[in-house]
Amino acid sequence: MRLSLGLLAVSVLAAGCEANGSENEWSDWTVSVYYTAVQSLYHGPPQKVRGCADFGCTVPDIEIGRFPDDFIDAVRDQGTGRITEGPYTGQYLLWSYDGGFRLDPQPRDPDGTILEPFHSAAADGLVAGTRLRLTDCGIIDAEDDETCDRFKHTEWVVGDEFTPGLGGDRHIDLYIGEETEQDYSDEIGVLTFAGAILEPVTS
């Protein structure tokens, strides 16, 4: 699982309540986002990466290749990165705190579930497979409601947890797909939500 709140400025500092004013377990959440890094957007000095050649291996002992050091940092932060140069072009470099680096043809979470943009989520303390909606974005620092609507008009499914020490109670991370430009984390950092409320999906 990636670093989230400290490195990604898109955050929801939630302080929500139900309409009747009483707090419940789905209010007062912190929400952050994560994404797949793209190698071509990074230009740091090359650094050797050792890991696993496939998702199923348990001993990360092969040399996968050399990648820009800032791309490697981004993969550690976000959990996945798409390779755009070299013999593994088109594959994904995955990272988890307990498994290290590994190659895979798909972006996956540490449990092996393929990540789906605006669908996959991660949270501590929620059972994998929990389905949720973001029902109230609260105050959003944006010119229009399109960003809020995109997060609200989808169903999120929890399939991962935070790297130990980075999540905590009432904190959820939402996967938004691949980054689209250089300094992507700075660009999406213009968004701020406050007062977000979640709702479980049971039907």
pLDDT digits (tens, 9 = 90+) for 115-137: 999 999 998 888 889 999 999 87
159 token code pair: 């399939």
Contact predicate 46/86, CB 8 Å: no
Beta bridge partners of 173: 32, 122
Q: Which residues are within 8 A (CB) of 200 and not within 5 positions of it... i.e. 6 or more apart? A: 26, 130, 131, 132
pLDDT digits (tens, 9 = 90+) for 30-40: 788 889 999 99
pLDDT at 42 over 90: yes
pLDDT digits (tens, 9 = 90+) for 171-194: 888 899 999 888 776 665 545 566
Going 176 to 8 to 46 to 79, the CA torsion angle's sign is negative
